[in-house]
């Protein structure tokens, strides 16, 4: 505690001088108080600096062949680029000349510091490291370890994203084993530890773990909501040099500010649960004269099958609308409602929410209305909404609000549909698909949900939740609650930004989900400065750094998709295959087209292997080829091109054999459907002999379920064969329209589920 008090005093002094950044000398002092190595140094304040006397003092008191001269300035944090750092021989004339030159070039600095040179090679990978930490509103204090030195940015930019630096939230790592795991995954530390080919260890892991733990300890203490009245925004040592087996700081930057209390008041779990399983629903904003947004929602709720006796309309002067009873005020409702759907013009929202809160009859609100804080000029309305929510919670702690700018919620099990999309515009995600795992789809963007569901008609989530602005209940609150649902096996999540500490919470929820065998697929928008600006305009969310988010969530066990197409295709894999136990990454590939066989072979790599050693299987396949007179043109191999001559009667047995073999964990089957040898068009539609019933698909789909193995089916053809694809999907066989895309996505899916 004494050391922490000493560090606090350093911040107090700097704050009193109206500084938000420490001097390098002060950073060294903090490092030394933490037991971390810093070079021997001498500081000469500008006010009484005599270059001749200082040069003599430096030469006599410091040791070594060379000396490092630095300006000390709160206004020039990156000194090397500006010429504020010089390495020279420890000779009086050289030192004095350097001092005079620095004073002339930088007349307004606080002083000059001289340091002993730490012997190391700045050009050898692993000898100069960058250790940093920063405050992150989403994840709390975050520590990074990467390549250091003057070329750190250029080197990092040239590497594959996510390679360097290594990133970890401090709250996630509580012990030495955690930091060891962090080090083991650090690209640059492999060079320091001598774990690369031809490498030699130059520092022990324990040396760096000591630094990591010290940084973590300081960041946890000096943070928003922590024990100190100051919070560190950024703390970086670049480089940390490896000198004679020890890590030594050669430069330091620390920015700070007064600490704030940013803690988000979490919504009631009971209130959130009610929104996901409502017993009574009310709608506000229904017009009796036209089919407005609220009336579409009302009709969608009734058509979904919800008990009309427990649906209510809040409207003065009418007894009922479309057979649903009306009440002038929520306080008049005959029961407490779990879902109070509000679709009124934004200026009316604060008053509607105030009445709902005062009634004591409303637990959960779904706020469809937008234009409350996310749009320039709507800040006052947004602030009024926040106040109305807070006041409602004072009367009823279980009062929660989902939205605003929500597109609605669809709950097939509860028979609720509050989407305001007319049924002639889309097929609602009601009912079940018996071939897929129970899935929850939670999205900040409602348009993302309906767009995805429109493209993936097979997807029938048990929960489809659009969240919007996250003015109370957030995406993460929903995901946390749905993770507790035992039947949910796949969680699909679209995020634009986090509320305070929600990133860390999501990482912890993902860890729990993976421990329970659930799959979590996430798309995180706002990965660039332009993207962050776009999502701010949409939902007024806190948009964090994308690479930090991706790295932390992947480490927690999420599959973070890089594109919308990846998200949708990975959803196919997860929903259809999550109930299968894939025991091996060895995969059998078969096509009836040479280009697809070549394309699949080109796509093999990483996790996927294509070994084929089972002589009995090879013999059985040869017998099938011989039976259909294909043995003269087709060899049994992997990938295997059976040519367009192969009929359904041959494709089916070959596929079944591969599915039944212990040698393979899955089968990728790519069939160009234009061949006359296959039944790929529906019977009775046109003058042709084809019939789906005579295809191999029905029997093979049954075999897939018996074996519990994925079959990835590729149909590389145009719209004429859409019905063929639909037929396969109805049988529980997921379809891709190109073989290379299927192999790429399956490779990503394998990497995810097999660690």
Within this chain, do residues 144 and 201 fall inside the same structural domain, yes or no?
yes
519 φ, ψ (degrees, to nearest 5): -105, 135
What stretch of H or E contains 492?
strand 490-495
DSSP summary character for residue 206: H
8 pLDDT tier (thresholds 50, 70, 90): very high
SS (H, E, C) 51-62: HHHHHHHHHHHC
What stretch of H or E contains 232?
strand 230-243
Using CA atoms, how far apart are residues 683 and 6, in angstroms rounded to an integer?
A: 84
Predicted pLDDT of residue 79: 67
DSSP summary character for residue 664: -
Half-sphere exposure of 507 (CA within 13 A, CB side): 23
Using CA atoms, how far apart are residues 439 and 369, in angstroms rounded to an integer?
A: 27
Asked, for residue 180, whether it belongs to a domain, the answer is: yes
646 pLDDT tier (thresholds 50, 70, 90): very high
Within this chain, do residues 285 and 156 fall inside the same structural domain, yes or no?
no
Using CA atoms, how far apart are residues 93 and 446, in angstroms rounded to an integer?
A: 71
Name every residue whose Cβ is closer than 8 Å to that of residue 182 and which is 6 or more positions away in sequence: 145, 166, 168, 173, 212
Q: Domain count for the chain, please give it.
A: 5
Lowest-pLDDT range of 20-34, 65-79, 464-478:
65-79
Lowest-pLDDT range of 118-132, 153-167, 250-264, 288-302:
153-167
> What CATH number does the domain containing 77 carry?
3.30.1490.20
Predicted pLDDT of residue 532: 44
Within this chain, do residues 467 and 368 fall inside the same structural domain, yes or no?
no
Predicted pLDDT of residue 487: 96
Q: What percent of the chain has pLDDT over 90?
A: 79
What confidence tens digit (pLDDT) does each residue in 600-621 have? 888 787 789 999 999 999 999 9
Is 388's pLDDT higher than 90? Answer: yes
Asked, for residue 271, whether it belongs to a domain, the answer is: no
**What does the pLDDT average to over 383-399?**
93
Name every residue whose Cβ is closer than 8 Å to that of residue 361 and which is 6 or more positions away in sequence: 330, 331, 333, 335, 336, 337
Judging by DSSP bridges, how do beta strands 230-243 and 128-136 pair with one another?
Answer: antiparallel
Question: Which of these three, 117, 143, 160, is where a domain ends?
Answer: 117
Asked, for residue 22, whether it belongs to a domain, the answer is: no
Predicted pLDDT of residue 76: 67
Is 72's pLDDT higher than 50? Answer: yes
Asked, for residue 707, whether it belongs to a domain, the answer is: yes
Within this chain, do residues 443 and 388 fall inside the same structural domain, yes or no?
no
Within this chain, do residues 559 and 596 fall inside the same structural domain, yes or no?
no
Predicted pLDDT of residue 638: 92
Within this chain, do residues 569 and 645 fall inside the same structural domain, yes or no?
no
Predicted pLDDT of residue 526: 76
Average pLDDT, the chain: 91
Question: Which of these three, 354, 387, 404, is where a domain ends?
Answer: 404
Within this chain, do residues 563 and 649 fall inside the same structural domain, yes or no?
no
The residue that leads in pLDDT, 676 or 535, is 676
Asked, for residue 638, whether it belongs to a domain, the answer is: yes
What confidence tens digit (pLDDT) does each residue in 37-53 have? 999 999 999 888 899 99
Confirm if 385 and 471 have CB atoms less than 8 A apart.
yes
Nearest to 516 by CA among 604, 578, 564: 578
What confidence tens digit (pLDDT) does each residue in 96-148 have? 999 999 988 888 888 999 999 998 888 888 999 999 999 999 999 999 999 98
Name every residue whose Cβ is closer than 8 Å to that of residue 83 and which is 6 or more positions away in sequence: 105
Number of H helices, E strands in the chain: 25, 29
Predicted pLDDT of residue 164: 80
Asked, for residue 548, whether it belongs to a domain, the answer is: yes
> What CATH number does the domain containing 571 carry?
3.40.50.261
Within this chain, do residues 529 and 564 fall inside the same structural domain, yes or no?
yes
Confirm if 644 and 592 have CB atoms less than 8 A apart.
yes
Is 629's pLDDT higher than 60? Answer: yes
Confirm if 143 and 132 have CB atoms less than 8 A apart.
yes
The residue that leads in pLDDT, 688 or 712, is 712
Asked, for residue 23, whether it belongs to a domain, the answer is: no
Asked, for residue 292, whether it belongs to a domain, the answer is: yes
The residue that leads in pLDDT, 159 or 664, is 664
755 pLDDT tier (thresholds 50, 70, 90): confident
Using CA atoms, how far apart are residues 291 and 299, in angstroms rounded to an integer?
A: 10
Within this chain, do residues 601 and 734 fall inside the same structural domain, yes or no?
yes
Is 485's pLDDT higher than 70? Answer: yes
Predicted pLDDT of residue 546: 85
What confidence tens digit (pLDDT) does each residue in 330-353 have? 999 999 999 999 999 999 999 999
Is 27's pLDDT higher than 60? Answer: yes
Question: Which of these three, 226, 258, 290, is where a domain ends?
Answer: 258
Confirm if 312 and 282 have CB atoms less than 8 A apart.
yes
Predicted pLDDT of residue 120: 86
Predicted pLDDT of residue 528: 56
Within this chain, do residues 593 and 714 fall inside the same structural domain, yes or no?
yes
The backbone region for 405, taken as left when phi is positive above 0, alpha when psi lies in -120 to 50, beta otherwise, is left
**Residue-number span of the structural domain to which 245 is assigned:** 128-258
**What does the pLDDT average to over 374-394?**
80
**What does the pLDDT average to over 684-702?**
91
Within this chain, do residues 206 and 142 fall inside the same structural domain, yes or no?
yes
Within this chain, do residues 173 and 147 fall inside the same structural domain, yes or no?
yes
What confidence tens digit (pLDDT) does each residue in 348-368 have? 999 999 999 999 999 999 999
């Amino acid at each position: 505690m004494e050391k922490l008090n000493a560090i606090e005093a350093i911040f107090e002094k700097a704050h009193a001088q109206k500084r938000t950044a420490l001097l390098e000398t002060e950073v060294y002092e903090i490092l030394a108080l933490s037991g971390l190595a810093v070079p021997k140094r001498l500081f000469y304040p500008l006010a009484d600096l005599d270059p001749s006397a200082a040069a003599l003092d430096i030469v006599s008191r410091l040791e070594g062949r060379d000396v490092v001269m630095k300006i000390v300035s709160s206004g020039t944090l990156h000194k090397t680029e500006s010429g504020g750092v010089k390495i020279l021989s420890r000779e009086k004339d050289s030192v004095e000349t350097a001092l005079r030159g620095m004073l002339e070039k930088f007349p307004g600095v606080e002083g000059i510091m001289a340091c002993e040179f730490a012997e190391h090679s700045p050009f050898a990978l692993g000898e100069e490291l960058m250790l940093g930490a920063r405050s992150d509103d989403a994840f709390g204090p975050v520590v990074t370890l990467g390549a250091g030195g003057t070329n750190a940015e250029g080197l990092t930019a040239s590497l594959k994203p996510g390679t360097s630096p290594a990133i970890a939230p401090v709250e996630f790592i509580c012990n030495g084993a955690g930091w060891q795991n962090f080090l083991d995954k650090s690209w640059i530390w492999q060079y320091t530890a001598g774990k690369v080919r031809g490498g030699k260890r130059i520092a022990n892991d324990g040396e760096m773990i000591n630094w990591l733990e010290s940084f973590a300890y300081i960041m946890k203490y000096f943070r928003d909501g922590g024990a100190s009245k100051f919070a560190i925004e950024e703390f970086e040592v670049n480089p940390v040099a490896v000198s004679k087996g020890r890590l030594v700081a050669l430069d330091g930057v620390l920015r700070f500010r007064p600490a704030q209390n940013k803690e988000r008041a979490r919504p009631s779990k009971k209130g959130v649960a009610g929104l996901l399983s409502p017993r009574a629903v009310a709608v506000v904003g229904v017009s009796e004269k036209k089919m407005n947004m609220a009336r579409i929602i009302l009709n969608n709720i009734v058509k979904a099958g919800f008990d009309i006796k427990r649906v209510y309309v809040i409207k003065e002067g009418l007894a009922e609308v479309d057979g649903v009873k009306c009440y002038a005020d929520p306080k008049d409702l005959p029961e407490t409602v779990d879902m109070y759907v509000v679709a009124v013009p934004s200026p009316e929202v604060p008053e509607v929410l105030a009445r709902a809160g005062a009634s004591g009859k409303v637990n959960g609100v779904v706020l469809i209305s937008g234009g409350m804080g996310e749009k320039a000029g709507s800040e006052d309305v947004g602030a009024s909404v926040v106040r109305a929510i807070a006041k409602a919670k004072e009367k009823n702690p279980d009062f929660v609000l989902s939205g605003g700018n929500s597109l609605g919620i669809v709950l097939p099990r509860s028979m609720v549909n509050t989407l305001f999309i007319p049924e002639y515009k889309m097929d609602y995600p009601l009912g079940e698909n018996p071939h897929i795992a129970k899935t929850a789809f939670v999205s900040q963007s409602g348009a993302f949900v309906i767009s995805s569901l429109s493209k993936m008609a097979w997807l029938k989530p048990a929960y489809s939740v659009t969240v919007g602005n996250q003015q109370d209940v957030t995406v993460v609150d929903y995901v946390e609650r749905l993770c507790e649902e035992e039947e949910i096996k796949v969680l699909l999540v679209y995020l634009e930004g986090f509320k305070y500490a929600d990133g860390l919470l999501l990482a912890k929820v993902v860890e729990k989900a993976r421990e329970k065998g659930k799959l979590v697929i996430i798309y995180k928008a706002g990965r660039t400065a332009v993207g962050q600006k776009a999502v701010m305009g949409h939902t007024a969310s806190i948009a964090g750094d994308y690479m930090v988010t991706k790295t932390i969530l992947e480490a927690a066990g999420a599959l973070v998709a890089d594109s919308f197409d990846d998200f949708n295709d990975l959803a196919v894999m997860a929903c259809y295959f999550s109930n299968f136990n894939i025991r091996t990454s060895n995969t059998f590939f078969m096509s009836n087209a040479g280009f697809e066989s070549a394309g699949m072979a080109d796509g093999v790599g990483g996790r996927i292997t294509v070994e084929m050693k089972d002589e009995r299987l090879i013999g059985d396949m040869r017998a099938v080829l011989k039976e259909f007179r294909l043995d003269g043109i087709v060899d049994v191999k992997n990938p295997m091109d059976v040519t367009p001559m192969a009929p359904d009667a041959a494709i089916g047995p070959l596929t079944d054999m591969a599915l039944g073999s212990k040698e393979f964990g899955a089968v990728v089957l790519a069939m160009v459907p234009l061949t006359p040898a296959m039944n790929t068009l529906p019977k009775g539609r046109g003058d042709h002999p084809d019939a789906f019933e005579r295809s191999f698909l029905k029997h093979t789909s049954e075999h897939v379920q018996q074996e519990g193995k994925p079959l990835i089916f590729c149909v590389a053809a145009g719209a004429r064969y859409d019905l063929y694809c639909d037929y396969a999907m109805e049988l529980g066989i997921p379809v891709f329209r190109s073989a290379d895309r299927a192999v790429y996505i399956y490779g990503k899916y394998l990497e995810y589920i097999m660690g």
